[in-house]
Structure 1
């Protein structure tokens, strides 16, 4: 949300390049790997090296660091400035209760973090340096040129054709309402933010498919972290379309009809006889399946034949997973 004319593409930083698959509101450490978004001026950019992003991580306050590290259990308000786990006992207890439900290791981490943030910061720095030596550096050398090229392409689109074209190139799941000055992302999570002086920052990743991460936390620069180089994302189903298809298949009569329509094409009267229903009743069920895009129709003389679209149905499982992970 917010003024739609403010957007800046940026090449991905070292932390993001190596951890794109584990970022997001549902995973620990999502905010920790976007430290530049939490800097006070709200105009930060990803660092070009791991050392630069670790320096940015050090600039986060202890409150920011603790809440970001406990993101998966804290669940503090994203749209407002609420109490932090470091300063508020109630928030800290709630975070520990949720951590305990995830297992003993999460609980131990949740207890140690607010007790000694500097020690955890030092451990994290060393851990990331070890990861850089093991595989970050190799991955970054392989991916940095592709990411830089994509950032230049989005910048060129933004300058020559405007924000709508740039966002359309990011993902079909992102839409722009220019009149309302609002950007909407088709995801299961709900939240909103305004860009402020820093604008909306577009950050590409080569390792994030199918995730489309949106950072909208209060006081942090809004970020749209999107996958590139994945032709599978050319036309993702919207959550509304997925819900429509799953609802259409939830009816027992339509499920039984699909069994027959999967084997061969049928007229309306044929399933009516099989299921002991009237033609108008069958027509209504067929209309629901057709609106959901689950069946195809073709005319043969004066008859209309209906058949299950096996390709669409076969993709339902993967589309569901892509939708909830997006």
Structure 2
């Protein structure tokens, strides 16, 4: 706080001095020039004031997360929606640190889209959330935050300590976690064996076949999983990745509802057939929604996918684009 007060007073005295200087030489300068000079200084002064207030607000915002937990140690449910506010790599760990002190927190909705938190911010946030050991329901939106492999690994490592999680919604659309990042994420998340409802959004993340296999391997560990939404739009998992994904999802025998989006992934006929073969093993599946790219599947493959319809399958939606 003192830094900002000093910053303000420095410019205040700077402008007082310069206006006094102008006043002293008023007899030697043209009146029009004086007015122009004053006008310019006024504009500069207001710009600096605006910058000061922006920095002051951000400073208060960061400090809030450091102290708010001490006022709410018994907090059970917290919802915070904050998009595009330049929280950055410093603010995100502060949020995590504050939330980590809320030891009774069980329900959390945290939306930090478009804040450029990066790898450091994501890891710091995950570290803080990992201290919320009673967390059972988590919605975490981190779209478009310049998160890479290291950030995804750190986030997964932290969330993996939340072993009481039963419902998870994680949105990492429009980052760049890649194969290494998504595999690292699941290396931590696979510790959350009590998960029954999962929604994962990994659109535009440069995920290839190795990453798809990592996702599948992680999901296959959740024996209690009943509802799964997985959006991999516009990656490059290919036929092998899609087949491996389908095979591992097939291990989730308690799965009753599945939404799977593999549009723009170059899965081809091999991938679509592999997904179909794997999902046959989900014997309790009742609701199935698939998103395929029509150019990747010929008529025969479409029929193979439709053959998944069984006595238990009540709703089957296959969307072609």
TM-score class normalised by the smaller sequence:
under 0.3
Q: TM-score, normalised by structure 2?
A: 0.23
More helix by share: 1
Q: TM-score, normalised by structure 1?
A: 0.23
Compare CA radii of gyration and give the structure with the larger one: 2
